[in-house]
């Protein structure tokens, strides 16, 4: 069956996206194979107690900074061999808090320094680069503010520098607040996949492994030989570790040395972290892949894996392309089954490639405790699906070369379920990306109805998973938004403006929810009025093609006439849904005339004997016309979605939501300026 050019283009995009996504997925399974097959041989060498500089880059982390300093000063290591540099770029209470802590520990004999460079130029990478000017120790350990190194960390990690070419040892991240919420559980499982599969596989082979920015120890000579810290990307850790390995240094991962850290508990903070990682990876791909490709000493497999790791976030825009394309292809009656005559194999293939394979991996990772971790997998699938919008925006930001701004992920010292972060400083508001998530969620609801009404219910779980993900991420982004930007550690009563802002916020949330519900209702109503009649007509045409009974054919044609009347009421005077470059094949007036001709032919042959040649000729003619009209309806279906009225309504709907968002943001900015003016 011929496919119209628009559907053919969408189908090609869908298939290309599927192939690329499958390739990245299979590569993850390949790394899983490497991590299991290649047994760890982590040799150690007694190096005594070499000099170590511990660098702690910090910016506005008053809830966790002191906890980190206490943990570092509690390390079981000679004070004279351990220099601590607190790289503090803060501009809030964190400065005074750390100054007091430094003075206390200096009195106890620690070599501890509170470094204030007076600028945030280069952000975290700039602070580390600045600190290296006065660093003369053999090793450099780095911890972010939310990490809590165990007291034995240095004594257990440093002996793994057993060979002269080892430039970095990366330790595994633990999760001190993993069980705080579904968000933290999903993040913990995702990070475990990264460390116990990807990092483990690469560490035990000749593949490039990345530094994760914290909970690791560098050999100072390695940092200097690789060119030091660069500030051109948002992921200075990935950048430096790849440049070091291009120079011949080896990076290793230590899965048995776990450093606990705090996971983001606020959705907007988690989205910011994911955004930074996604954008930074693409930036590194643009910066480094050319050099890796021409480097002779780098193995071909290492080059391929470097390309895959640095570009893997392009999977997210490809996921959105598939998500957008699937309902269009289903509405156009395009066959997307893996095996056309056994539709159930399609969903079985998706399950085997996705959740089924991940369950096997979880079993290998966690052994006896795998069942408890497997229960988190649905949350992770929903979380990752919903994050695809946020990470897609990050990818395009990187590709288009948008200016970098290192926005840190705020932490609140949250450990137990009883701990609350909502009234603390650093709370982040939702961003414009949330509006896109709502759009994709509503589109997904339409896609579910399309898959049902087009007799393709097998695709409902696939569309539904992403739809739930979009709505979940958007809902959590709204519900985790707070207007209060309190910088002072002293609590205060809300001002009149802040109380009004909270009222406006609540009313706006109600209004936005109402608009979304109304938009969803109108989308369903529009589908029922414009698209579903075409689906019914195609079904009747199918029945006519396979029938030789004039009574049955007449009944199908009568139903088609009714549906035609419904569709044509909503069309303009041209009676053609294609409003740019229309063709006769999609002219519903011509289709109606052809149906009338079929009705007349059916009436004529219904009075002649069924075994006559005239009867058979007439039936063949009706069957042929039904086949042609079915193709015409398939050509017209995609254009019914982009009718002038639908575009106008969608534009107005989105404009109202953006208007509410703009009003909220304007109010938030006013409050922020008021806080700054009053010195709060």
Catalytic residues: 89, 237
Phi and psi angles of residue 176, each rounded to the nearest 5 degrees, phi first: -70, -25
Let me know: does 24 contact 315? Beta carbons within 8 Å.
yes
Per DSSP, the three-state class of 140 is strand
* C-alpha to C-alpha distance for 117 and 135, rounded to whole angstroms: 15
HSE (side-chain half, CA atoms, 13 Å) at 370: 12
First to last CA, the chain: 69
Let me know: does 668 contact 501? Beta carbons within 8 Å.
yes
* C-alpha to C-alpha distance for 146 and 417, rounded to whole angstroms: 17
For residue 552, what are the CA distances in angstroms to 542, 543, 555?
A: 12, 9, 5
Among 631, 561, 630, 557, which residue's Cα sits nearest to residue 599? 557
Let me know: does 319 contact 388? Beta carbons within 8 Å.
yes
DSSP bridge pairs for 87: 57, 115
DSSP bridge pairs for 261: 147, 175
Entry field: residues in the chain: 680
Among 251, 224, 231, 232, which residue's Cα sits nearest to residue 306? 251
In terms of phi and psi (left: phi > 0; alpha: psi -120 to 50; beta: otherwise), the region of 153 is alpha
Per DSSP, the three-state class of 582 is coil
Interior angle at CA 162, CA 157 and CA 165, nearest 5: 110
Among 550, 676, 566, 660, which residue's Cα sits nearest to residue 606? 550
């Amino acid at each position: 069956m011929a496919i119209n050019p628009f559907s053919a283009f969408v189908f090609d995009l869908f298939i290309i996206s599927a192939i690329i996504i499958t390739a990245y997925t299979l590569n993850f399974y390949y790394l899983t194979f490497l991590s299991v097959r290649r047994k760890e041989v982590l040799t150690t060498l007694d190096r005594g107690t070499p000099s170590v500089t511990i660098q702690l880059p910090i910016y506005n982390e008053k809830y966790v900074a002191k906890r980190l300093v206490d943990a570092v000063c509690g390390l079981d290591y000679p004070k004279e061999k351990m220099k601590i540099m607190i790289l503090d770029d803060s501009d809030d209470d964190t400065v005074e808090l750390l100054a007091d802590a430094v003075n206390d520990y200096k009195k106890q004999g620690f070599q501890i320094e509170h470094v204030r460079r007076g600028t945030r130029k280069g952000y975290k990478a700039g602070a580390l680069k600045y600190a290296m000017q006065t660093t003369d120790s053999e090793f450099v350990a780095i911890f972010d503010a939310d990490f809590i190194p165990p007291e034995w960390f240095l004594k257990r990690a440093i002996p793994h520098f057993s060979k002269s070419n080892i430039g970095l040892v990366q330790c595994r991240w633990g999760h001190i607040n993993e069980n705080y919420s579904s968000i933290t559980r999903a993040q913990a499982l995702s990070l475990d996949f990264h460390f116990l599969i990807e990092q483990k596989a690469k560490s035990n082979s000749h593949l490039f492994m990345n530094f994760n920015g914290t909970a690791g120890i560098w050999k100072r000579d390695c940092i200097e030989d690789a060119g030091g810290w660069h500030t051109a990307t948002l992921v200075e850790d990935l950048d430096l570790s790849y440049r070091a390995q291009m120079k011949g240094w080896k990076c290793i991962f230590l899965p048995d040395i776990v450093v606990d850290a705090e996971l983001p508990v606020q959705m907007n903070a988690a989205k910011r972290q994911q955004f930074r990682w996604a954008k930074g990876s693409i930036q590194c791909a643009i910066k480094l892949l050319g050099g890796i490709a021409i480097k002779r000493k780098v193995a071909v497999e290492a080059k391929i894996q470097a390309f895959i790791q640095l570009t893997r976030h392009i999977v997210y825009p490809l996921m959105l392309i598939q998500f957008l394309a699937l309902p269009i292809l289903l509405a156009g009656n395009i066959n997307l089954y893996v095996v056309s005559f056994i539709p159930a194999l399609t969903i079985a293939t998706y399950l085997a490639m996705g959740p089924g394979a991940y369950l096997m991996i979880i079993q290998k990772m966690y052994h006896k405790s795998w069942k408890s971790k497997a229960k988190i997998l649905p949350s992770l699938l929903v979380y990752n699906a919903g994050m695809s919008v946020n990470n897609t925006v990050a990818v395009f930001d990187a590709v288009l070369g948008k200016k970098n701004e290192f926005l840190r992920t705020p932490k609140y010292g949250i450990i137990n379920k009883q701990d609350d972060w909502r009234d603390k400083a650093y709370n982040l508001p939702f961003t414009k990306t949330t509006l896109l998530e709502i759009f994709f969620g509503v589109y997904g609801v339409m896609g579910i109805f399309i898959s049902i009404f087009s007799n393709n219910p097998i695709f409902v779980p696939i569309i539904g998973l992403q739809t739930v993900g979009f709505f979940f991420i958007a809902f959590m982004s709204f519900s985790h938004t707070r207007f209060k930007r309190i910088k002072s550690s002293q609590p205060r009563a809300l001002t009149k403006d802040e109380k009004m802002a909270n009222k406006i916020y609540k009313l706006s949330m109600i209004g936005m929810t109402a608009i979304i519900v109304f938009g969803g209702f109108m989308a369903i109503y529009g589908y029922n009025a414009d698209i579903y009649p075409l689906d019914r007509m195609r079904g009747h045409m199918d029945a006519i093609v396979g029938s030789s009974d004039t009574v049955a054919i007449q009944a199908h044609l009568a139903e088609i006439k009714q549906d035609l009347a419904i569709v044509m009421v909503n069309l303009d005077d041209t009676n053609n849904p294609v409003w740019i470059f229309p063709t006769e094949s999609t002219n519903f007036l011509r289709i109606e005339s052809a149906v009338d001709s079929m009705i007349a032919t059916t009436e004529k042959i219904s009075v002649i004997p069924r075994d006559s040649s005239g009867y058979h000729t007439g039936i063949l003619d009706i069957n042929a016309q039904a086949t042609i009209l079915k193709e015409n309806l398939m050509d017209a279906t995609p254009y019914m979605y982009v009718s002038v009225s639908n575009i106008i309504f969608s534009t107005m709907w989105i404009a109202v939501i953006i208007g509410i968002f703009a009003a909220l943001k304007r109010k938030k900015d006013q409050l922020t300026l008021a806080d700054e003016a009053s010195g709060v």
